[in-house]
Amino acid sequence: MTDTLAAWSLVGVYSAAAVYLGAFALFLLDLAKRSVAAPVAGTAARPVAREAVVQESGTVLVDAPPAPPVVVTGRRARVALALSWVGWIVHVAATVLRGVAAERVPWANMFEFALTGTAIIVGVYLFANFWKDLRFLGTFVLGLAVLLLGLATVNLYVDVVPLPPALQSAWLVVHVLVAILGTGFFAIGAGLSITQLLQDRREKGGLRSGRFLATIPGSEALERMAYRVNVIGFVLWTFTLIFGSIWAERAWGRYWGWDTKEVWTFVIWVVFAGYIHARATRGWRGNRSAVLAIIGFAAVLFNFTIVNLLFKGLHAYSGL
Amino acid sequence: MASSLPSDHVESDAQARSPENPRLGPVGFARFLWRLLTSMRTAIVLLLLLALAAVPGSLVPQRTSDPNGVLQFQANDPELFEVLDGLGLFSTFSSPWFSAIYLLLFVSLIGCIVPRTKHHLEALRTRPPKTPARLGRLVGHTTADAQTDAETAVEEARRVLKSQGYRVERYGDSISAERGYLRETGNLVFHTALVGVLAAVGIGGAFGYTGQRLLIEGEPFTNVLADYDSFSGGTWFDPDTGLAPFSLRLDDFEAEYAFDQNTGLWNPLDFVASMSTREPGGGWTPATLQVNWPLEIGGSQVYLLGNGYAPVVTVRDPEGAEVFHGAVPFLAQDANLSSLGVIKVPDGLSDQLGMRGFFYPDAYALPSGALASFSPYLENTLLTLTVYRGDLGLVDGSGANVYNLDTTDMEELAGRDAPLVLKPGDTVDLPDGMGTIEFERLALYVGLDIHHDPAQGWVLVFALLAVAGLLTSLFIPRRRMWIKVAGPAESGSGVRLEYAGLARGEDPALAGAVADLARAHGEALARKTSGDARLG
């Protein structure tokens, strides 16, 4: 029974990855088309914030209402987004099946963590599209999801095994789920920050190619979006740290012991703390803070891949 | 944060440039240093340095979390070890440079919390600022006409803004309102709580202790220093008063495993240690200890960290007199609990005797002839012993480790090719007529970690306070709103109203909030006029 369900789950994973690949290709074609169709001068992406000086309280940055980005309802992007939804539903079904097969949460080893993690990254992205039109990020998000899901399934797949005693805890549900959610938000934030850096270069005339950038919000609007997303990621990451400490106290006899994974969780937290401070400091706003957000997400990926696979530590027993 | 100004504040270029002052006296220089240290820019650099400085702690094994890894590193590459050890990399998180960074960061933090708290307390007492002369440049500027008089419009504006949680002040025919002081309060709580976390961690480390004990079935453990296998207390820990009086005993241990066909190994499913505990004045009371479920006793926590088998053996001299008797803990070498242990008999025989033992719970022979264990369950229990005679090294200390047998000064009596083989209940002769050894029975043991941290509850309290502060400071918008009667309406009857807002910090929803306010105010005025009309 377990094996059958796990096998069906795997079929779902492959199907989802195939659909994602199609969505990724369409998102990429959409960007290519936008580059052809977009005006060279980039009139669509005017900076949307300005500053005002209010006398009695010193200098205050005033955000003007953001100018609505030019909506490009390319057919390719619409189909790509629809495909992403289809792929995601299959993906979520496969993840749930895996959990049913294992009779526990589907995030107890590297493969399962990648499975659930990519589902949440894509999920956060899809739902974020209700908030802002983020179809220009589809290439980044779906590309990342296909890459991680494919690598994990091919290299790290393991059959369902029961949980070792150390993982038999309600904190496995909470701590890891919050960590994955945080990762999802950081992923979208990093995508926005990368786009912001490109956009900024284009606005300053330093970027010849990538004319699709003219069809998406300006760098300052992108920076504000990235901030909103990263701040949610930061709060989730703070919870990851605290829940992890509580669990570590229960399971290992100390709430903090500088285990390799703890070190990296701390490093990531500090980098994003730096990012939030940078956002409020002249000279660090804009590109520099965007670079910090990207470094932060790179550290998240490093923490999940290299630290799990190559570093020795207490978290290693989750198995591959 | 680090800066005496609110976090919402964005430094302007003019402020960022330090004032030119070619001659600084000592006081001036100190003030300059202090301002440099408490500036936001320094705080960011220190944060990034802190992140960077923590990285080596994950690349190089640490003495605190992986002492064996450190020894291994030393053995593998003594020269590189010298260099890295000189830099303190094997204890990164207590190294001078790491400490310097976080201490500077926290000094900078405190240097910023104090003036900001003062500033905030003042802000809490001051009234909202005067309404700007022109609202047109501000966020969400909206105009509307209403069929009412100026007085009613202003009073309704006061009521509506108050009901939305604003602090209000009337200036002429306008209401100035401000809300979201909690944003700054949360920010201060967050940063103060971080200082609290650091202090609680420090206090806990100084007064706490952690110790390990391998406890064999039936043998009582009393919480005194001498009863620990290894122990480390904090700087201010006093072993005479710091150890709560209690005793522990292992009564039974049950382990459950599941076979994994792919790896051929048995994965543990469940470990349950049945313990008895005793506190002063009481008798033994049963208690259960499991992984993830520590035992709380005497303000300390007892954790289950390991388990294994301890064969009970008796060694007798050729006349049959007992010279050694005891349970010898064997350390598991793999998931199927093939275990390794050492029996040392220093006295009573013609020579000192050392035995290196392999224990197999469920022995079977590999094609090569070597033995292995098929499962961790006691099915085909087997103990094999290689025997050595000579100097155990107990005098010069080289043989002090009970899990290690140094055979350099010893003569091999029974090697790996012809070890002694025993099943429970067996008695066999020792080589060279030295006597006999009996494998009486098996005892179980558990590895316990006993931990006491008087401040860990406070660490959690401060951490949760920090989260509460963080959520408040990130998601409560601080904004100013104005409703102003700008004059008579253009149509001639009624008044012209102006609405606008000002964000203090990140506030993407402000324009929408101004529009909502204008709508709410308009509806309130309409209700009022229609109500007045009915009354009239």
Query: Which among A6, A4, A3 is positioned nearest to A99, based on CA atoms?
Result: A6
Q: What is the dihedral of CA B482, B485, B486, B489, to 10 degrees?
A: 130
The reported pLDDT for the residue numbered B401 is 80
| Beta carbons of B183 and B194 less than 8 angstroms apart | no
Cβ–Cβ gap A239/B1 under 8 Å? no
- pLDDT at B5 (0 to 100): 46
Smallest CA–CA distance, residue A152 to chain B, in Å, is 18
Q: B127-180+477-535 has which CATH code?
A: 3.30.310
pLDDT at B460: 96
Q: Which residue of A has its CA nearest to B290?
A: A165
Residue B362 pLDDT > 80: yes
Q: Residue B290: what are its φ and ψ, rounded to 5°?
A: -135, 160
pLDDT score of B20: 52
Task: Determine the Cα–Cα distance for residues A195 and A141; give it in Å rounded to an integer.
Answer: 12
Distance in Å, alpha carbon of B311 to nearest chain A alpha carbon: 25
**Torsion sign, CA atoms B114, B115, B118, B123:** negative
Q: How far apart are CA B465 and CA B195, in angstroms?
A: 11
Question: pTM of the prediction?
Answer: 0.86
Which structure tokens are listed for B304?
């289950």
Chain B residue with minimal CA distance to A159?
B262
Residue A126 pLDDT greater than 60, yes or no: yes
pLDDT digits (tens, 9 = 90+) for B86-106: 999 999 999 999 999 999 999
Residues of A whose CB is below 8 A from B131: none
Contacts of A231 in chain B (CB under 8 A): 474
Using the beta-carbon criterion (under 8 Å), do A253 and B262 form an inter-chain contact? no
State residue B21's pLDDT score. 52
Q: Is B383 helix (H, G, I), strand (E, B) or coil?
A: strand
Cβ-nearest to B511 among A65, A264, A274: A65
Q: Is the pLDDT of residue B25 over 50?
A: yes
CB < 8 Å to B210, chain A: 253-254
Task: Give the Cα separation of B241 and B223 in Å (integer).
Answer: 11
Q: What's at B54, amino acid-wise?
A: A
CB B291 within 8 A of CB B271: yes
State whether B13 and A254 contact (CB < 8 Å): no
pLDDT, residue A156, reads 86
**Average of per-residue pLDDT across A1-12:** 88
Q: Within an 8 Å CB–CB cutoff, is residue A159 touching chain B?
A: yes
- Cβ contact, residue pair A282, B16, below 8 Å: yes
3-state SS class at B137: coil
Cβ within 8 Å of residue A305, ≥6 positions away: none
Has residue B3 got a pLDDT over 60?
no
| pLDDT of B334 strictly over 90 | no
Instruction: Reply yes or no on whether the pLDDT at A163 is more than 90.
Output: no
Nearest CB among B62, B292, B453 relative to A169 is that of: B292
Q: Chain A: give the shortest CA distance to residue B343, in Å.
A: 30
Kindly tell me if the per-residue pLDDT of A81 is higher than 60: yes
Contacts A–B by Cβ distance under 8 A: 178
pLDDT of residue A212: 83
Report the candidate in A246, A125, A118 with the shortest Cα–Cα distance to residue A192. Answer: A125
User: Among A29-38, A284-293, B284-293, B513-522, where is mean pLDDT lowest?
Assistant: A29-38
Q: Which residues of A touch B511 (CB under 8 A)?
A: 65
A8 and A97 Cβ atoms separated by less than 8 Å: yes
Q: In what order do the strands lie in the sheet with B167-171?
A: B139-146, B495-503, B479-488, B174-179, B167-171
How far is Cα B57 from Cα A270, in angstroms, rounded to an integer? 15
> What residues in A contact B9, CB-CB < 8 Å?
58, 280
Contacts of B451 in chain A (CB under 8 A): 253-254
Give the nearest chain A residue to B295 (CA atoms): A250
- What are the phi and psi torsion angles at B357 (to 5°)? -115, 145
Q: How confident is the model at residue A3 (pLDDT cuts 50, 70, 90)?
A: confident
Instruction: For residue range B258-293, list pLDDT tens digits in order.
Output: 888 777 788 888 999 999 999 998 899 999 999 999
pLDDT given for residue B22 in this prediction: 57
pLDDT in tens, A239-274: 999 999 999 999 888 899 898 889 999 999 999 999
Tokens 């895996």 locate to: A98
Q: Rounded to a whole number, what is the distance in Å from the CA of B226 to chain A's nearest CA? A: 21
Partner residue facing B303 (CB), from A52, A253, A271:
A253
Phi-psi category of B412—alpha, beta or left, where left has phi over 0 and alpha has psi -120 to 50? beta
Cβ-based neighbours of B380, under 8 Å, separated by 6 or more: B360, B362, B363, B364, B374
Tell me whether residues A164 and B267 touch, CB distance under 8 A.
Answer: yes
Residue found under tokens 């900076």: A47
Question: In whole numbers, what is the pLDDT of chain B averaged over residues?
Answer: 89
**Rounded CA gap, B368 and A43, in Å?**
78
How many residues make up chain B in this entry?
536
What are B344-357's pLDDT values in tens digits? 998 888 889 999 99
Cβ contact A65–B51 (<8 Å): no
Residue B10 pLDDT > 70, yes or no?
A: no
CA distance B210 to B452: 6
Window B:407-446, CB contacts with A under 8 Å? none
List, as one string, the DSSP characters of A120-180. Answer: HHHHHHHHHHHHS--GGGHHHHHHHHHHHHHHHHHHH-----PPPGGG-SHHHHHHHHHHH
Q: How far apart are CA A319 and CA A268, in angstroms?
A: 23
CA–CA distances in Å: residue A137 to residues A81, A122, B420: 11, 11, 70
Contacts of B55 in chain A (CB under 8 A): 263, 267
Q: Would you call B267 and A284 a contact, using CB atoms and an 8 Å cutoff?
A: no
Query: What's the burial of B346, exposed, middle or buried (CB within 10 Å: 0-12/13-18/19+)?
Result: middle
Chain A, 64 to 123: residues with Cβ < 8 Å from chain B are 64-65
User: For chain B, what are the domain ranges?
Assistant: 13-115, 127-180+477-535, 208-300+449-454, 308-447
Looking at per-residue pLDDT, the higher value among B393 and B88 belongs to B88
- Kindly determine whether residue A253 and residue B305, on different chains, have CB atoms separated by under 8 Å: yes
B495 Cβ under 8 Å from any chain A Cβ: no
Q: Is B174 helix (H, G, I), strand (E, B) or coil?
A: strand
* DSSP for residue A67: P
Inter-chain CB proximity A258 and B62 less than 8 Å: yes
* Nearest residue, CB atoms, B294 vs list A166, A250, A278: A250
Q: What is the DSSP letter of B60?
A: S
Domain boundaries of chain A, sorted by first residue: 2-45+74-318
Q: How does residue A38 score in pLDDT terms, banded at 50, 70 and 90? A: low
A132 touching chain B per CB within 8 A: no
Q: Does A250 touch chain B (CB under 8 A)?
A: yes
Overall average pLDDT of the B389-408 stretch: 81
Nearest-Cα distance to chain B for A21, in Å, is: 31
Euclidean distance between CA atoms B210 and B231, whole angstroms: 6
> What confidence score (pLDDT) does residue B494 get?
86
**Average pLDDT value for residue range A67-94:** 83
pLDDT at A228 over 90: yes
Is A288 an 8 Å CB contact of chain B? no
Rounded-to-integer distance, Cα B223 and Cα B211, Å: 10
Which range is most confident: A162-166, A215-219, B444-448? B444-448
CA distance B463 to chain A (A): 7
